Amino acid sequence: MDTVMYEVGAAAAYGLVGLVLMALGYLVVDLLTPGKLHSLIWTDRNHGSVVVLSSSVLAMAVVVRQAILASEEGLVAGLVSTALYGLVGLALMAVSFLVVDAFTPGRLGELVTDEKLHPAVWVTATAHVSVGLVVAAAIS
């Protein structure tokens, strides 16, 4: 029973780290796009914002999953390494947004939040998921 309780505690701790990283991902997307993300999604029902945020959450989950699978011996070391890999993933997703923005005529944030779903939304979402997959693959 002690082993089961330890594993339940470890699962809860890893879950908490994952939730914190996904919340940070929400904040990053909120900072990179004009307006308040919660209003854009839940009040305005802005499809572009939903797609970009969803891709970020999915990408972060992929990174966190792989980080957990490859985590160091010991719970604390595993939690720390998972958090660090997650932060690297977040930083690289933000950079990918800025790179796509650099190649976008106008401002990417404005295109993402436009009422009409712009193709740049799909490029941005694909970049986020791709970054998540690359970071996850790099974790051994």
Q: Per-residue pLDDT tens for 96-129?
A: 999 999 999 999 999 999 999 999 999 999 999 9
The number of helix segments (H) and strand segments (E) in the chain equals 6, 0
Per the structure block, which two tokens stand in for 80?
Answer: 């720390």
User: In the prediction, which pLDDT does 102 show?
Assistant: 95
Q: How many CB atoms lie within 10 A of CB 14?
A: 20
Spatial separation of the C-alpha atoms in residues 56 and 136, rounded to whole Å: 14
- pLDDT tens track for 42-65: 999 999 999 999 999 999 999 999
Total number of domains in the chain: 1
Domain that holds residue 89: 2-138
Evaluate the CA torsion angle 38, 43, 49, 50 in order and state its sign: positive
- Tell which wins on pLDDT, 72 or 113: 113
Contacts of 108 (CB under 8 A, 6+ apart): 97, 100, 101, 120, 124
| pTM for the full predicted model | 0.90
